[in-house]
Amino acid sequence: MFLIKVAAAAVNQTPLDWDGNRARILDVIEQARGQEVRVLCLPELCITGYGCEDAFQSTGIQRIAQQVLLEIVPQTAGMVVSLGLPLLYGGGLFNTACLIAGGRILGFAAKQNLAGEGIHYEPRWFKPWPADVRAEVEVHGDTYPIGDLIFDCGGVVIGFEICEDAWVADRPGGDLAAGGADIILNPSASHFAFGKQEIRRRFVLEGSRAFGVTYVYANLLGNEAGRAIYDGGALIASGGRMVAEGRRFSFADFQLTSALVDIDATRQQRARISSFQPDVTEAGATAIASEFEFPTLKPAAHSAALPAWESGAAVKEEEFARAVALGLLDYLRKSRSEGFVVSLSGGADSSSVAALVALAVRFARAELGHDGLRHKLAHISRPPADADDQAWVHRLLTCVYQATRNSSDTTRTAAAELAVALGANFLEFDVDEIVNRYVDMVAAGLNRQLDWETDDLALQNIQARARAPGVWMVANVQGALLLSTSNRSEAAVGYATMDGDTSGGLAPIAGIDKAYLRQWLCWMERQGPEGVGPLPELALVNRQQPTAELRPPQAGQTDEEDLMPYEVLDAIERAAIGNKYLPLEVFYLMEAQYPQYDAQQMGQWVERFFRLWTRNQWKRERYAPSFHLDDQNLDPKTWCRFPILSGGFQRELGQLRAELEGR
């Protein structure tokens, strides 16, 4: 029996925050040392931050990263530690993990497979390192190995799969196992998406089983750079068994997850695999060796228990609540904003945003306590003296209901009741006079009266735009962040007023579809997150049909009457934009999926979607930054590119019309 204590750290880093990133790394190392950890894995690019974007291309940034590395190295005595940073070699920039043993750099393992889909643009900055290639690189006057490396630390062999390396079919882990690896470290920057943690569990477990190793997976934590949210969730598996799993969505600076593993046991397990073939050639005997002494340890019980919600029936609802809440609080503190402002209409979108801000406070305070939250938000002036959730929400959240003559008592009551229940600061503005002044001014300029028969869209939009200056002013006066309340379904078809309801510095729900958002609000009303409970004041919001309330009340305006049923809209979006199907193909899919609707009606909806999609790309280009929550994001800056000007699917829509005419 050869027992070693290993650990993975989920750390909340910030791009280019050199002193802050270094301090958190040193805190992790110190806590790990206190727990007698001997092998510690930190996340990918943890020194620079993962989301440095084009700043990675600065040679000055690379020099500072190396300086910070050398400042950390002396603090690793008695431990084996992995730290991530970019490294320039041979004219190319490589994403590397530096392995340090006992206060000495052993070398730099380079990432072989780069993430270049969805939110990831690694090939823009980095080059993939070729398998089985090793070289030497100079760092501050000293020369170290770089490349496809394997390390022998006091007889324990360690290799790397860096994030994407574990997601590809031909994983480096097979070669590492053939080279005798006992431990595979996976420093990752794997952003949150619904259901993604289960995929991570599978490749960590399978990697530990198939390769006969201990597999240590470390991930980033929190809203690192603005759009991506990292859920943490460190994983440690040994010989096909999960032995430790870290907490996800933590508001702490870091989470350390450790486990005691038996190196002899995994070696014996691998030796029993009949298909395993060790590399006994000279090429396979090139591990970088270092003296290192592991202490003798006694067996201890393991616990890989998850919080109840992780295995419950509402995992997606819990993940949505916790991911966006964490993203909001991190955005608040990293942007050094004094709070949030929401234009609360009493409808589903703005109510969701307000509720998510309140959840951010409740989750953070439950984990950190009153004093911990004050420390986390140390930049906030006048923090609440009372140590309860409502006092914190009142300090951080201002909701503004802005009425026109077309607003109803229902939405006003819904907004007021929700704001009171959350503890928010609630303001009411009447913008009807402002709207009338704009209408009269334009009518005089055009020398004609404006009416709903001929000027419907203009009269709707001016109401939404007239609400923006006042709520922006509230945000400016308070030094707060104005949150846009637009969702992904609206973004797909441009059902939003630019410089109106799209106004804001952050759009926290622009990555989620309206159908799911309404489902989540019903769950919030009746059940709510574990440890928080339901929010029954959402009942009045949930009983309404979604409406912009921009036409006169007698028009009976609803979103779905203007567009189509939201569940259909979202299904069309997934087929057309996510799966890249053409109009006729989308129609066939929708006809099979929703047989309750008439074929002619479905055809009209499909055509409406494609026309609105192509017409409104310019709006999506102007949306405030949004959080990435699944693989259907429409953000053109980081995910879904589409030309602002295009042919508009004219030929393809003609094929759809011909199909409908032939029926």
Segment 18-59, tens digit of pLDDT: 999 999 999 999 999 999 999 999 999 999 999 999 999 999
Segment 358-379, tens digit of pLDDT: 999 999 999 999 999 999 999 9
Residue 251 lies in a domain: yes
Strand partners of residue 139:
142
Mean pLDDT of 398-425: 95
For the record, the structure tokens of 207 come out as 């990697």
Query: What does the alpha-carbon distance between residue 211 and residue 178 come to, in Å, rounded to a whole number?
Result: 8
For 592, the domain range is: 558-663
Side chain identity at 372, as an amino acid letter? G
From 514, 543, 572, the end of a domain falls on 543
Residue 213 lies in a domain: yes
Residue 266 clears pLDDT 80, i.e. is over it: yes
Q: Which residues contact 433 (CB under 8 A, 6 or more apart)?
A: none
Side chain identity at 439, as an amino acid letter? V
Residue 550 lies in a domain: no
Residue 207 lies in a domain: yes
Q: Which residues contact 429 (CB under 8 A, 6 or more apart)?
A: 400, 401, 402, 403, 467, 470, 471
Residue 480 lies in a domain: yes
Which helix (H) or strand (E) segment holds residue 496: the answer is none
CB contact at 8 A, 582 and 649: yes
Mean pLDDT of 296-319: 85
Residue 279 pLDDT:
80
Residue 549 lies in a domain: no
CB contact at 8 A, 431 and 467: yes
**234-248, 273-287, 312-326: which range is least confident on average?**
273-287
Residue 514 clears pLDDT 90, i.e. is over it: yes
Mean pLDDT of the chain: 95
Q: Is the dihedral of CA 220, 223, 229, 232 positive or negative?
A: positive
Question: Is the same domain home to 492 and 562?
Answer: no
For the record, the structure tokens of 28 come out as 């992790």
Residue 285 lies in a domain: yes
Question: Is the same domain home to 415 and 378?
Answer: yes
Question: Is the same domain home to 106 and 165?
Answer: yes
Query: What does the alpha-carbon distance between residue 112 and residue 127 come to, in Å, rounded to a whole number?
Result: 8
Residue 451 pLDDT:
94
Q: Which residues contact 557 (CB under 8 A, 6 or more apart)?
A: 547, 548, 549, 550, 551
Question: Is the same domain home to 355 and 473?
Answer: yes
CATH number at residue 104: 3.60.110.10
Q: What's the structural domain count of the chain? A: 3
Question: Is the same domain home to 180 and 237?
Answer: yes
For the chain, the helix, strand and coil percentages under 3-state DSSP, each to the nearest 5: 45, 20, 40
Residue 296 clears pLDDT 90, i.e. is over it: no
Segment 645-658, tens digit of pLDDT: 999 999 999 999 99
Q: pLDDT category, 282, cuts 50, 70, 90?
A: low
Mean pLDDT of 548-563: 86
Residue 285 clears pLDDT 60, i.e. is over it: no
Question: Is the same domain home to 233 and 139?
Answer: yes
Question: Is the same domain home to 585 and 521?
Answer: no
Question: Is the same domain home to 333 and 283?
Answer: no
Question: Is the same domain home to 620 and 495?
Answer: no
Segment 178-187, tens digit of pLDDT: 999 999 999 9
Question: Is the same domain home to 282 and 351?
Answer: no
Helix axes 599-615, 583-593, angle to 10 degrees: 130
The fraction of the chain above a pLDDT of 90, given in percent, is 89
Question: Is the same domain home to 471 and 373?
Answer: yes
Question: Is the same domain home to 274 and 326?
Answer: no
HEC per residue, 560-603: HHHCCCHHHHHHHHHHHHHCCCCHHHHHHHHHHHCCCCCHHHHH
Residue 101 clears pLDDT 80, i.e. is over it: yes
Residue 276 clears pLDDT 90, i.e. is over it: no
Mean pLDDT of 452-459: 94
From 235, 266, 296, the end of a domain falls on 296
Q: pLDDT category, 304, cuts 50, 70, 90?
A: low
Mean pLDDT of 154-181: 96
Residue 308 lies in a domain: no
